[in-house]
Amino acid sequence: MKLNIEGLLVYFPYDYIYPEQYSYMLELKRTLDAKGHGVLEMPSGTGKTISLLSLIVAYQRAFPLEVTKLIYCSRTVPEIEKVVEELRKLMEFYTKETGESNNFLALALSSRKNLCIHPEILHANIVVYSYHYLLDPKIADLVSKELAKKSVVVFDEAHNIDNVCIDSMSVNITRRTLDRCQTNVDTLQNTIHKIKETDAAKLREEYRRLVEGLKEANVARETDIYLANPVLPDEILQEAVPGSIRTAEHFVGFMRRFLEYLKSRLRVQHVVQESAPQFLKDIFEKVCIDRKPLRFCAERLQSLLRTLEIADIADFSAVTLISNFATLVSTYSQGFTIIIEPFEDRTPTIANPVLHFSCMDPSIAIKPVFQRFQSVVITSGTLSPLDIYPRILDFRPVTMASFTMTLARTCLCPLIVGRGNDQVALSSKFETREDFAVIRNYGNLLLEMSAIVPDGIVAFFTSYVYMENIVASWYEQGILENIQRNKLIFIETQDAAETSMALEKYQEACENGRGAILLSVARGKVSEGIDFVHHYGRAVIMFGVPYVYTQSRILKARLEYLRDQFQIRENDFLTFDAMRHAAQCVGRAIRGKTDYGLMIFADKRYARADKRGKLPRWIQEHINDGSLNLTVDEAVQLSKHFLRQMAQPFRQEDQLGLSLLTLEQLESEEMLQKITQIAHQT
């Protein structure tokens, strides 16, 4: 159908449209009009992708000078494939409607084997790729450097974007890394020797270039050709490479010294935590390495690798990592912390020293993106509370909206189970974690649910350790045996191959009527990337509130930083983080309007307003007073009723006019009125 969105003609390749899609496109258009950034939350399964694509492509066609390119970032390869599929549909629709073959060029970068370096790709109208291509400084420099300023960047499934940013800037150094780095440095030295004998001119040429400094890069940045690289700070562009590392041999010697220093730092018996300036002071005192040459490390290494004409950079990943670390640590005095741990928390007897150079500020990695591109849209099914993202990513959005799902029937049923049948309060909090009564009641909940929920149930625990304890306890109490009478049980483990095997068998059991339960972990692989459509997930049970492991030093440092820099209280952030993961977990079961599922939050703390209020609006609006603080029995009664209601025949006609619209229905006055209420601005 052809839509008119505030005067913009949008081709939409389907005959029917959801009201929230229309609303979403309205907000998106306003964002593009204002040339600003946006944060949009819309439940999964309501056609976010096609709404985004339709509108932005239409915008590009209408205002080719305003928006030249769409950069669509998604998380996983299957998601990227889905986007490409939708895009293809849209393009076919364009060809059919306008009758002209369009000259739109779309490009999907999914893996290295699909990578294309043809210059024409620079002119592609749409680029679809993974987050890392834009956020990870190592990759971004190769792939995304030359993307035009007048681009629209979309981050889909962006609820974890802050963690992606942090991961892309953090460096972990182990003994293994240092050993490999040592080998790299040796190789470099040998190569330099060889080159010196054969082609000394080359090295001289490099020396001359380095004296002139990084003028080229500076010119490029000033004229705004390239995307800024956070590893290449502004200040060093104005300066020449310092003399101490200008010749190749000196640089290698410098790297050796630095390496020895790091090795000595790793020989610790107790945990050390220090800031970047402290680290710099220490390195100066111990091995007389100044801040300045460290800052040029990354750039100097790149230059050397180019000069030596080394083809396979992958072999030199260790030395690249170390040099990046050197540059980062000397550049950013804030936002990073250094933690050296002599062993892992779980295995205190095995010495395995690690140096965590941990980024605490996600805005560092994403800053160039916000600065460079005129519109950046962050969207996902679960982004609540919306206002926290602009704060932690340090940007100012022009639109922030949360959309609800318009439903012809209430197909999701969130229940908060706070008590067992014996009135014992259910909670995964630390004090009651070992409590037998709580574990027994959790078991009872799963047992009762396994008897009334058809096909698949997915249960999430807060951590692997907690899951192992509970399952062991259930086994001793004989609960597991009773559950197995109703359904098969599969468990997610840390082993990826084992987990995918379990998943496969789980789906088979759901398919052939045996029924199955998948026990998995919030923040695990299952909770983030696997969809449980229809019968694969008729109920999701969230045992406990999935708080992150708070004893971790990295997390503590980050919380402190958030408090000091962004005035976000520790508890607020922890709750926000726990609730977004809980929402992700329960959201696995509802993947569209014809789908239905129970969402069971088994912890009394969910009933509190501060927790509940952080759930996405499309879940929150279905939680009423009758679904708070239930006992197991009450939850079973409600679930039984819900499942029977949902099993009644449901056809497309039932949705039409309510949650699915034809063009005429959409254009009716009354509907447009209703649509304005779908978007909830904050």
Partner 1 sequence: MDEEPERAKRWEGGYERTCCVSSFPGLLWNMFHPQGGVCVFSHGQVRLGMMRHVYVVIDCSRSMEDQDLKPNRLTSTLKLMEVFVDEYFDQNPISQVGIITTKNKRAEKLTDLAGNPKKHITALKKAVDTVCVGEPSLYNSLNLAIQTLKHMPGHTSREILIILSSLTTCDPANIYELIKTLKSLKVRVSVIGLSAEVRVCTVLTRETGGSYHVILDESHFKELLMLHIKPPPASSSSECSLIRMGFPQHTIASVTDQDAKPSFSMSHLDSSSGPGLSLGGYLCPQCHATYTELPVECKVCGLTLVSAPHLARSFHHLFPLQAFVESPVENLQGDRFCQACQAELKDKSMFSCPSCHSVFCVECDLFIHESLHCCPCCIYCQTVP
The binding site for partner 1 (CB under 8 A) comprises: 407-410, 413, 451-455, 485-487, 510-515, 534-535, 538, 624, 626-627, 637-638, 640-649, 654
**Closest CB 486 distance from partner 1, rounded Å:** 6
Q: How far is the CB of 484 from partner 1 (least distance, A)?
A: 11
- Work out how close the CB of 623 gets to partner 1 at its nearest, in angstroms, rounded to a whole number: 11
Q: Are 259 and 178 in contact (CB under 8 A)?
A: yes
Token output for 211: 């004296």
Can you say whether residue 453 is alpha, beta or left, with left for phi > 0 and alpha for psi between -120 and 50 degrees? beta
Helix runs in 359-416, H state only = 363-372, 388-393
What is the spatial distance between Cα 480 and Cα 519, in angstroms, rounded to a whole number? 12
Q: Looking at residue 660, what DSSP letter applies?
A: B
SS3 149: coil
Minimum distance of partner 1 from residue 474's CB (angstroms): 20
3-class secondary-structure state, position 676: coil
DSSP reduced 3-state for 60: helix
**C-beta separation of 418 from 629 below 8 A:** yes
How many C-beta atoms lie closer than 10 Å to residue 151's C-beta? 21
Distance CA(590)–CA(588), nearest Å, equals 6
DSSP state of 478: T
Taking residue 372's Cβ as centre, other Cβ atoms within 10 Å add up to: 18
As given in the structure block, the two tokens for residue 613 are: 């209020």
CB of 673 to partner 1, least distance (A): 20
Half-sphere exposure of 623 (CA within 13 A, CB side): 24
Minimum CB distance to partner 1, residue 409 (Å): 5
- CB of 67: closest distance to partner 1 in angstroms? 40
Question: How many Cβ atoms are within 10 Å of 111's Cβ, its own excluded?
Answer: 10
* Shortest CB 516 distance to partner 1, Å: 10
Q: Whole-angstrom distance between the N-terminal and C-terminal Cα of the chain?
A: 31
Distance between alpha carbon 199 and the CA centroid of its chain, in Å? 47
Nearer to partner 1 (CB atom), residue 410 or residue 571:
410
Cα–Cα distance list, 373 to 71, 149, 360, 401, 628 (Å):
10, 5, 24, 21, 44
Q: In 327-482, at which residue ranges do the beta strands (DSSP E only) sit?
A: 336-341, 354-359, 375-380, 397-403, 412-419, 456-461
Burial of 679 (C-beta count, 10 Å sphere; 0-12/13-18/19+)? buried
Nearer to partner 1, 341 or 455 (CB): 455
Instruction: For residue 172, count CB atoms less than 10 angstroms from its CB and return exposed for 0-12, middle for 13-18, buried for 19 or more.
Output: middle
User: CB of 453: closest distance to partner 1 in angstroms?
Assistant: 7
Q: Which is nearer to partner 1, 214 or 483 (CB)?
A: 483
The CB-of-46 to partner 1 minimum distance in angstroms stands at 17
Is the N-terminal amide bond of 385 cis, ω within 30° of 0? yes
Least Cβ distance, residue 680 to partner 1 (angstroms): 20
What whole-number distance in Å separates Cα of residue 419 and Cα of residue 425? 5
User: Which of residues 198 and 624 has its CB atom nearest to partner 1 in the complex?
Assistant: 624
**Quick one: tokens of 21?**
């899609």
Q: Which is nearer to partner 1, 1 or 452 (CB)?
A: 452
Of 101 and 648, the one with the shorter C-beta distance to partner 1 is 648
User: Which residue's CB is nearer to partner 1, number 113 or number 651?
Assistant: 651
Nearest to 345, CA basis, from 521, 170, 492, 550: 550
- DSSP secondary structure string, 574-625? HHHHHHHHHHHHHHTS--SSS--EEEEEESGGGGSHHHHTTS-HHHHTT--G
Q: Closer CB to partner 1, residue 50 or residue 412?
A: 412
Question: Cβ of residue 410: shortest distance to partner 1, in angstroms?
Answer: 5
CB 413 to partner 1: min, Å: 8
From the CB of residue 585, how many other CB atoms can be counted at a distance below 10 Å? 28
How far, in Å, are 16, 151, 463 from residue 94 at the CA level? 16, 22, 48
> From the CB of 646, what's the least distance to partner 1, in Å?
7
Looking at beta carbons only, is 389 or 606 nearer to partner 1? 606
The Cα 607–Cα 354 span in angstroms is 40
How far apart are alpha carbons 484 and 250 in whole angstroms? Answer: 68
Question: Minimum distance between the CB of residue 624 and partner 1, rounded to whole angstroms?
Answer: 7
- Quickly tell me which residue has 């919030």 as its tokens: 522
Nearer to partner 1, 176 or 640 (CB): 640
Min dist CB 674 to partner 1, Å, is 15
Q: Check if the beta carbon of residue 376 is closer than 8 Å to that of residue 71.
A: no
As measured in angstroms, the least distance from the Cβ of 641 to partner 1 is 6
* Residue placing its CB nearer to partner 1 in the complex, 297 or 413: 413
567 vs 624 by CB, closer to partner 1: 624
Query: Which residue, 280 or 660, is less far from partner 1 as judged by CB?
Result: 660
User: Given the complex with partner 1, which of 79 and 455 has the nearer CB atom?
Assistant: 455
CA distance 119 to 123: 8
Q: Cβ closer to partner 1: 517 or 559?
A: 517
Find, among 130, 163, 177, the residue nearest to 356 by Cα.
Answer: 177
Q: In terms of Cα–Cα distance, which of 584, 74, 136, 166 is closest to 392?
A: 166
Nearer Cβ to partner 1, position 463 or 659? 659
Which residue, 190 or 637, is less far from partner 1 as judged by CB?
637
